[in-house]
Every structure is written in structure tokens, then in C-alpha cells.
Chains A and B, each alone.
Chain A
Amino acid sequence: MELRDYLRILRKGWLLILAITVVAIGAAAAYSFIKTPEYSATSKVFVSVQGGDSTSDLVQGNTFTQNRVKSYAELVTTPIVLNSVLDDLNLDMTVTELAAALTATAPLDTSLIQIDAASIDPVQAADIANATSASLADVVDEIEAPDTTTGASPVKITQVTDALVPLAPVSPNIPLNIALGALIGLALGIGIAVLRETLDTRIRNEHDVNAISETPIVGGIAFDAKAAERPLIVQADPRSIRAESFRALRTNFQFLGAGTGGERRSTFVFTSSVQAEGKTTTVANLAIALSDAGRSVVVVDADLRRPRLADILGLEGAVGLSDLLIGRARLNDVIQPWGAGSLDVLPAGRIPPNPSELLGSSTMVDVIRKLEERYEYVLFDAAPLLPVTDAAVLSTYASGTIIVVAAGRTRKAQLRGTLMALLNVETKPVGFVITMLPTKGPDAYSYGYGYGYVADSESESPTMDSTVIPRPAALITSSIPIISTAPGPRRGATTAPVETETDDDLLEDEPIAEAGVGTDTDEAAVLPDEAPEDGALDEDELDPADAAPAGTAPARRKSAAKTTAPAKASATKAPTARKAPAKSTASTKSSASRAAAASDDEPAISRSTRIRVTDPKPAASSVNAQGPLGAIDEDGVAPSEETRATLVSLRSRRTAPRPPRSTARDGSR
């Protein structure tokens, strides 16, 4: 645990800690009140040696008394002294009891003895102290007297301070007791709070999720006590924090959708560990948010056991997916439009006895393919993973699985079990969505708020897109070209789908490198300005096999590595490439080709030319984002041995002199 964790625990458990402290203080105060007050009286005696006039005698006498004083102090609690005290005062106690009530101390380097007597009766305390002093004087006088003569003892004990009747008790010490109580209470409270936190097996916040899996958290949904009453918050109250968190989720989704593995990812399965974690609400709101942004979305209720989607969306869910899967209805008949936007809904339909088999059937695959053709996003609301296998079956067909985790409900072990269930079918989630997050307090969602977007129309702007990107590395991987194929309403002039060259073409075709790759690449990369964090692209979060069809993934990966090579080659040929911009700009095949041309000595731009533009605006901004992109190159490309080898072979084929900068860069490796 880090210090931050402890602070969080303190914030979380402050009420408990306070309560325990107050109780402890109360107990201390009560104890002080109940306890009988005790008084203490003090008398002092002075030990002196008689006789001797010279200075040396005095010094000797002084040394003698100092040696003796300690013994006299010990003598105070002996029966020989105390018996006479008991007799004098007629006390009804034993010698031992009296000895316990007495304390005699001899302050260092003095000839004084201080006698403290404690008693519940102040007068008696004073009497005992005085009587003891007197008795001590007598006893010492008797002991020290020379036995041969009748002469007086050389040691004389004089009472110098009479014990006075104490006015205030010495015990209980109320302030001290209360302070002690507070201290103990505080320690106890903190201990219990830490223990409670350590033993808590529920997932409370994104830290807990991160500790279990490295899969990025793509959304955090604020808790709303009225969620059951108005589940569709995105349209019921678009300005609320909760609606905002769904829009943030939408933004991340557009990045997930931009996908990996050469194929646009559009099919997502939403599942959770157990029931009632907020799957349906999340899917419905996300779908509405996506359709608000102009995306064509279909949301499918694949929970054929406890369908809720139609109810939440206010639709008739009597016929739907299950009827489709048994061939009792046609797709066009059971898909229902929702609202006025581009959102369609496929309810669950009649609850079948064998949901898993139905969802695993080849008809289901056909349905998914059909939906993928028609819509940009196909979202499945699936059954929870732990009790039933439906979602696991479905996840093998989808391009991504999202696990919904309810903060404060899902247990850590359950989430681990869920991940294991997905692992068993050889898939893994592409993201987590944490729902029911408290909006304040120690577990409050720590990002995603405070960006107050003016209107939905701005949702596509780079500003918005850059607000919540938990892990850019997961979204833009270093080795996988992102090629989106699905047409979208916002893609504008840069959307013309064109076949990308084969890798061999790229390698063989010299002019590509010569003229700056932008001219030959139809669609260029768009990386949001702040997306690339230094070194972030090193970690290849997404397994290509997960995202792309199994057969093609490795090939693509390889190709991507190779693609970087000519790009670098172009960098080495910078003087030639610098002549190119006019030409490539004139071609205006894509705005990002300008970006590539303008930054001809930035290999990363050209490296990413295989990624298509999804929005012209970010493309323009990528011109200004050379720095970070360069960083990608440094970190993302360098480690590949294959790339280096290709690069070397390419360089050896070229005769043009290298520009100094490239040389320096090369040397730095």
C-alpha cells in the first residue's frame, strides 16, 4: 500500500475513526469520574552530620551523608519506621499497605529525603507523611548512635518541610486520561479502518480493476440513485455528470472502433461478472450517445435469459433475436427503430430454453455479419459471464468484449473468474466500464469530469476526443496498422475506400520513398495530438489475434513492421523528399498526406500512413503533432530487429547522401 492508499482509507473511514475516538474519550472520562480521588502529601527531611569544625571535616561529613541518604530513603518503607507510624496514628492497615502508600526519594547530590504519602483522605496523607518523617528521624538517631558511649548520634535528621493537607487530589488526572483515551481511540480506529480496507474483497474503484487486469478502463459511470427510474440518462438529462460519463465512454469507443488488425471493429459484447451490474443501462445509454453523434448503431439484447433492454428503451420486446435465430422472423421485421436518430434495437424476443446453443449457432454468426454490414456499431447486451456461458460464446464472434464492473458490488474474485471465463474461450476483454462509481468521496472517479462540452455537435472535435484516453497504447498500437473500412457519415472527403498496397509493393517501389509516402498512400494516419505518450506505445496492449481474424493477424503485424522501413527510407532521403511537398499537396488525396509531406523528416508520420483518416480535423492537427509522433518512432519502432534489418538493407541500396539529422538519429540507436 502506498501513502496515497492510506490517505484514501482515512478519508473513507473518517467517520468510523471519529466514532471510536469519541467512544474512547468518553470511556476515559467516565473512568476518571468513577475512580475515587487520591491525595498526596509531601514532607522533606534534611540529613546532617554533627561535629567537626574544620573544612575537611565538613567535606567528609557531607560525603558521608550523601552516601547515607540513599539508605535512609530505603529505610522509610521498612517496618522499623512504619510500626511506630501505625501506632502513632492508630491506622487500620498493615505495614505492607502503608509501605505501598509511601514513596521516599533522595534527590541526587543533595542531603534531602522527600517522603510522599498517598491516601484517599487528605488529612491522613499529611499525617502519615509527617509521622513517617518523625519516625525516620528517631530510627536513624537510634541506629547511628555509637553503642559504646551514651553520646548522641552524629547523624541528625531534621524535618524541613511539613506535609500540608493537600487541597486537590493527584489522581485521577482527568486531562491526561482523556488525552490517553483519545490517542488509543484514534489508533484503534485507524487500525480497524485499515483492516476493513484490507479485508474488503469488493471492487471499489479503478485502482482495484487495474490491479487485476491491465486491460484499459474505457469508461466510468457515475452512480445515480434514480438510475432505475430514468435509466436513459443521456436523453433524460444530457447535462448531468452521468450523461457526461456516457459521452466520455462514447469517445473512447470511437477509438476502440477505429480498431486494430486491419479491420474496423464494430461488434462489441457487453457483459459483466454477475447480475445487475449495469450492463443494459450502459449499453442503452452508450448506443444513444453514439447515435447522437451521428453513428449508425444497433443494440442487440443477447441476454436471452433475463432480457431488459426493450423495457428500458420502452419498446415491445416480444419478438426479437431468438425468433430470428429459430427462423420464425426476418431481421427487417424484428429490428425496431428507436427515437428519431440512427439507433435501431433488436430485442431478445421470446425466452428460449437453450440460449447458449442459439447464440452459438451458425445463424447467429450470419445475423452478426448482416448487422455489421448495416451498422457502424453493433452492441450486444449479453448475460453475465459467471453464471452462464452465453456471453463467452458470443464474445468469440465479436470484435471486442467489454466487461461492466459495478463499483462496490463486484468482488475481486468474481472479476478474476470472469476474465478466466473469457480466457477459456481464448478471448480477452478490450476494456472495462466501471459503473455505479460514487461522484464524491475517496473512490470517486478520478477523471472524465470537468470538461463541460458545449453541445453534442462538438463531440467529434479533437478536444473532445482527447479528453478521456486512459491508455493510448491500447488504442493506437505501434505495430498494427489501423485501417477503417466502414463508411461513416463524418468521414467526408477522405473516405474513399482504396486498396492499400501490398507490403512488397511498398518495399520494391522506390518512388514511394523518394517522393514522400503521402503521395502514394491514400489515407494517412490520424493520431490525436496528445494521444502518444512517450514510451506508451512500447506496450502492445492489444493482442492482434484478439482483434483480427486469427489467420491474418500475424501477416498484418509483419507487414506493419515492414511498412515502417520505407518510411524511414524516405527520411534518409530527405533532400529528395523535400521537393515532393508541392506535388503531394497538389494531389490532395488526403489531408494527412500533406502532413506526411510537411514533416518529411519525421518518419512516424509516414510510418502511420497506412492508417486511414476518420476525421479531417485531427488530420490537420497531426501536422502540428510532429514531436509526439517522433517519439512514437523512437520508442515504438526501434526495438524491432526485423525493422532494423530491413532498414539496413534498404539503406545499402541507396546512393543518396544521408542528411545529418538522420545520421545522428541512427547513431543514437
Chain B
Amino acid sequence: MTEGIFTILVVCSGNICRSPVAEQLLRDRLSGIAGVQVHSAGTIARPGVPMTDQAIELSQRYGGQPDGHMSRPLTAALIEGADLVLTAERSHRADVARLHPRASRFAFTLTQFARMIDSIEPDALAKITSPQELVAAAAARRGYVQASSPEADDIADPYRRSQSVYDAAGASIDGAVTSIAAAFPRPVS
């Protein structure tokens, strides 16, 4: 938690497909906002593995900058340094909480977080001035809006799967990131 910097950590399994794509899309959509940094890690990642070709293509398709990404494993320190942890699946969210129990207050799955944000009343959303407040508001919405099914909070792992699974993952990530970016408070400066 660097002073003045809001850190978003995106987590998936290998840190070569879903989390880098989400990271790059978030970075792209939030690029206009100062003081926000995004990075990613994988729960079972080996360090230094590049993204898959399909993931690179996916990232570019939605406007991300996939150059030079290398995977890295998730550590407690990484979570501790984050203000918001977004995971691809609920199991990753659980891993995050196990590594750093306090993170259960600010760890969400990507689609869950988007759903929480979408459920915040526009009036209440307009009053939010900082990203920290947004996370708190989203956390307070947990339990209010149930997912259509528990699986709806997950983004399926496309690794070594067909292109259609990649496409579905890309669409989910893009939809969630769009929601999050739209609600993200822009500092009045």
C-alpha cells in the first residue's frame, strides 16, 4: 500500500491467460486516472512464463498492451500491498484469503466485483470520491445481490482449451472491466 497509490492485484492460476488480460485491460481503461497501479499474479504460477498467444491476441483485441508480461507467483506480500484484489475464480479468492486473511475484505472475483458495483445506487455511486470508498461500498453490497449461480462468479480457465473458451473469457473480462472502469471515481484535478 504505497502512499497515495491505489494498487489493484489481479489473480488467476497461472498468470499467463486471464489475469494478465484483465490487468492490461484495467490498465488501459484506468489509464486516465492518476495514482492507480495494476499488476497480476498466479496462485500456482511459475515465474517468468510469457502469456499464451491466444491471450496476447485477446488482450490486443480489447485494447490491452500485452508486451513483456512475465508470470509471477502470488505471495502474501503482494496481497498485503494491494488495495483491491480481483480474482478469476472463487477458488483464487479463497487462496488469497488463506495467504492473507485480512484480504477477505477487499478480495473479490472480477465478475463479482463488477456485479457489486453495478448494484450500487447511482446516487450513492456519485458520492464516492476515492477508489478505497468504492471498494468499501462494493464490499458492503456482498450478500445483497446473489449471483444467478455460484459459478457465475467465475471466469473459466481457457488455458489449453479451444478458442471459444478464450473468447468467452475475454468477453467476461471485458464486461467486468468496463463496469469497474465506469464506476471508478475520477479525481477532480
Question: Which residues of A approach B to under 8 Å, CB–CB?
Answer: 229-230, 232, 235-236, 311-319, 323, 329-330, 332-334, 336-340, 347, 350
Determine whether B179 belongs to the interface, using a CB cutoff of 8 Å to chain A. no
Residues of A within 8 Å of B150, CB to CB, are 311
Contact among A312, A323, A333 for B143, CB-based, below 8 A: A312
Instruction: Supply 22 A–B pairs (Cβ within 8 Å), ascending by A.
Output: A232-B143, A232-B144, A235-B144, A236-B144, A311-B150, A314-B142, A316-B93, A316-B94, A318-B93, A318-B95, A318-B97, A319-B104, A323-B101, A329-B101, A330-B101, A332-B102, A334-B101, A336-B105, A337-B105, A339-B140, A339-B143, A340-B140
Task: Give Cα A316–Cα B102 distance, bound, in whole angstroms.
Answer: 11
A340 — which chain B residues lie within 8 A by C-beta? 140
> How many residues belonging to B are interface residues under a CB distance threshold of 8 Å?
20
Q: Which residues of B contact A313 (CB under 8 A)?
A: 142-143
CA distance A236 to B101 in the complex (A): 28
Question: CB-CB < 8 A to B96: which residues of A?
Answer: 316
Q: Which of B82-110 contact A (CB under 8 A)?
A: 90, 93-98, 101-102, 104-105, 107
Kindly list chain A residues whose C-beta atoms are within 8 Å of the C-beta of B145.
314
Q: Chain B residues with Cβ under 8 A from A347's Cβ?
A: 104
A residues in contact with B97, CB < 8 Å: 316, 318-319
* Partner of B104 from A230, A236, A315 at Cβ < 8 Å: A315
Interchain CA distance A232-B142 in the complex, whole Å:
11
A338-B142 in contact given A318-B93, A318-B98, A350-B98 (Cβ < 8 Å): yes
**A316 to B89, alpha carbons, bound, how many Å?**
12
B10 to chain A minimum Cβ distance, whole angstroms, is: 16
B110 → chain A, closest Cβ, in Å?
14
Residue in A closest to B144 when the chains form the complex, CB atoms: A235
Q: Is A316 a contact partner of B107 (Cβ separation < 8 A)?
A: yes
Q: Which residues of A contact B93 (CB under 8 A)?
A: 316, 318
Chain B interface residues toward A at CB < 8 A = 90, 93-98, 101-102, 104-105, 107, 139-140, 142-146, 150
B102 to chain A, nearest CB (A): 4
Contacting residue for A314 out of B94, B102, B107, B146, CB 8 A: B146
Closest-by-CB residue of A relative to B95 is A318
Number of A-B contacts (CB under 8 A): 60
A338 pairs with B146, CB closer than 8 A: no
Question: Assuming A318-B94, A339-B144, A350-B98, what are 20 further A-B pairs, CB within 8 angstroms?
Answer: A230-B146, A236-B144, A313-B142, A313-B143, A314-B145, A315-B142, A315-B143, A316-B90, A316-B93, A316-B104, A316-B107, A317-B94, A318-B95, A318-B97, A333-B101, A336-B105, A338-B143, A339-B142, A339-B143, A340-B140
Q: Which B residues lie within 8 Å of A350 (CB)?
A: 98
Whole-angstrom distance between the Cβ of B59 and the nearest chain A Cβ: 27
A319, B98: Cβ atoms closer than 8 Å: yes
The residue on A at minimum CB distance from B90 is A316
Q: Which chain A positions have C-beta within 8 A of B140?
A: 337-340
The minimal Cβ–Cβ distance linking B101 to chain A, given in whole angstroms, is: 4
In the assembled complex, the CB of A347 is this many whole angstroms from the nearest CB of chain B, namely: 8
CB distance from A242 to the nearest CB of B (A): 16
Across-interface contacts of B104 in A (CB, < 8 A) = 315-316, 318-319, 334, 336, 347
Do A229 and B146 have beta carbons less than 8 Å apart? yes
In Å, the complex CA distance between A229 and B142 comes to 15
Cα of A22 to Cα of B146 in the assembled complex, Å:
47
Q: Which residue of A lies closest to B147 (CB)?
A: A314
Give the docked Cα–Cα distance between A338 and B145 (Å): 13
What residue of chain A has the Cβ atom nearest to residue B109's Cβ?
A: A316
Q: Which residues of A contact B146 (CB under 8 A)?
A: 229-230, 314
Query: Could you tell me the distance in whole angstroms from the C-beta of B7 to the nearest C-beta in chain A?
Result: 19
Minimum CB distance partner of B105 in chain A: A336
Chain B nearest CB, measured from A95 CB (Å) = 86
Give the docked Cα–Cα distance between A311 and B147 (Å). Answer: 11
Distance A315 CA – B97 CA, assembled complex (angstroms) = 11
**Which residues on A sit within 8 Å (CB–CB) of B144?**
232, 235-236, 314, 339
Instruction: Tell me how far the C-beta of A287 lies from the nearest C-beta in chain B, rounded to whole angstroms.
Output: 11
Nearest Cβ in chain B — how far from A277, in angstroms? 21
A229-B146, A313-B143, A338-B142 known; A319+B101 contact, CB < 8 A: yes
Q: How far does the alpha carbon of A338 sit from the alpha carbon of B140 in the complex, in Å?
A: 6
Residues of A with C-beta under 8 A to B105: 336-337
- Neighbouring B residues of A232 by C-beta, 8 Å: 143-144
Please indicate the chain B residues that have their CB under 8 angstroms from the CB of A338 in the complex.
140, 142-143
What chain A residues lie within 8 Å of B142 (beta carbons)? 313-315, 338-339
The CA of A312 and the CA of B147, in the complex, are separated in Å by 11
A329 / chain B contacts, CB cutoff of 8 Å: 101
Residues of B within 8 A of A336 (CB): 104-105
From B139, which residue of chain A is reached at the shortest CB distance? A337
Nearest chain B CB to A282 CB, angstrom units: 15
Tell me the minimal C-beta distance from B96 to chain A in angstroms: 8
Q: Which residue of B lies closest to A315 (CB)?
A: B142
Q: Which residue of A lies closest to B148 (CB)?
A: A229
| Chain A CB within 10 A, most for which of B140, B143, B150 | B143
